[in-house]
């Protein structure tokens, strides 16, 4: 029922996307060289191995929706979310660096791991924000960011999260919420590796950088307009 109540919002989003197609294409051409993670600093990467979803104020969710700078900036503004950490999940290499992940050869996706309070915001509400703030119909791509590391993915931490994610995805597809099929991967959570320090809290620390100005800021503005009732006070 919750999913069906927000379908009209997705359809409105599609119309907005189509009306802005020419403008968006021009931006992609103009800023083709501006993509996530151009900075190449290397620093220690820490693994967080606890994959339980938890409960109450300590519940965990993990999403990949393109560049983690974008998804981090969005979920940092959600009421009930106490912590957002950028990192890597879903690959076959231990302790990967950004340089290795960005090669596309490790199999990792750029993700954010969220700590949230279930008494304030539910997992379905987080899924709604996740699916409405990126394009889940483009395979291994978000805008100018291309590669398997930018794939759309929900990493579930227990069977309930898996069930909810699969049900939500199915209902969105059946309702035609997007003009193409959703390609979001739904996979069990695996080892989570915290990204290098310069990736953490990126938008808040680098708001005037080109990627922040031309990619993240417009995303944030659309998010705030669509989810005003879920913003932190």
Across the 233 residues of the chain, what is the mean pLDDT of every consecutive 10-residue run?
51 44 37 55 52 78 98 98 98 97 97 97 98 97 96 98 98 96 98 98 97 97 96 93
> What is the pLDDT at residue 22?
34
Tell me if 129 sits within 8 A of 75, measured CB to CB: yes
Contacts of 84 (CB under 8 A, 6+ apart): 72, 75, 76, 112, 113, 114, 115
Three-state secondary-structure class, residue 76: coil
Q: Of 36, 67, 70, 212, which is the active-site residue?
A: 67
> What is the pLDDT at residue 199?
98
Q: Return d(Cα 182, Cα 180) in angstroms, integer.
A: 7
Closest CA to 34 of 6, 70, 88: 70
212 given a catalytic annotation: no
Three-state secondary-structure class, residue 48: strand
Secondary structure letter of residue 129 according to DSSP: H
Closest CA to 193 of 95, 66, 85: 95
Q: In 3-state terms, the chain is what percent helix, strand and coil (to 5)?
A: 40, 20, 40
């Amino acid at each position: 029922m919750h999913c069906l109540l927000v379908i009209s919002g997705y359809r409105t989003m599609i119309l907005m996307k189509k009306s802005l197609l020419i403008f968006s294409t021009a931006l992609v051409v103009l800023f083709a060289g501006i993509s996530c993670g151009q900075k190449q600093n290397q620093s220690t990467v820490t693994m967080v191995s606890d994959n339980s979803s938890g409960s109450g104020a300590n519940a965990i969710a993990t999403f990949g929706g393109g560049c983690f700078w974008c998804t981090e900036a969005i979920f940092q503004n959600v009421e009930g979310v106490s912590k957002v950490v950028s990192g890597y999940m879903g690959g076959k290499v231990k302790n990967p660096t950004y340089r290795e992940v960005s090669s596309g050869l490790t199999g990792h996706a750029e993700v954010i791991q969220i700590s949230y309070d279930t008494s304030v915001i539910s997992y379905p509400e987080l899924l709604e924000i996740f699916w409405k703030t990126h394009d889940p119909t483009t395979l291994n791509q978000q805008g100018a960011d291309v590669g398997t590391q930018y794939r759309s993915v929900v990493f579930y931490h227990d069977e309930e999260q898996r069930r909810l994610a699969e049900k939500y995805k199915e209902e969105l597809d059946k309702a035609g919420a997007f003009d193409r099929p959703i390609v979001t991967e739904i996979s069990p959570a695996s080892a989570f590796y915290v990204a290098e320090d310069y990736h953490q809290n990126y938008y808040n620390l680098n708001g005037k950088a080109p990627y922040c100005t031309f990619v993240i800021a417009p995303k944030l503005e659309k998010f705030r307009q669509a989810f005003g009732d879920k913003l932190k006070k």
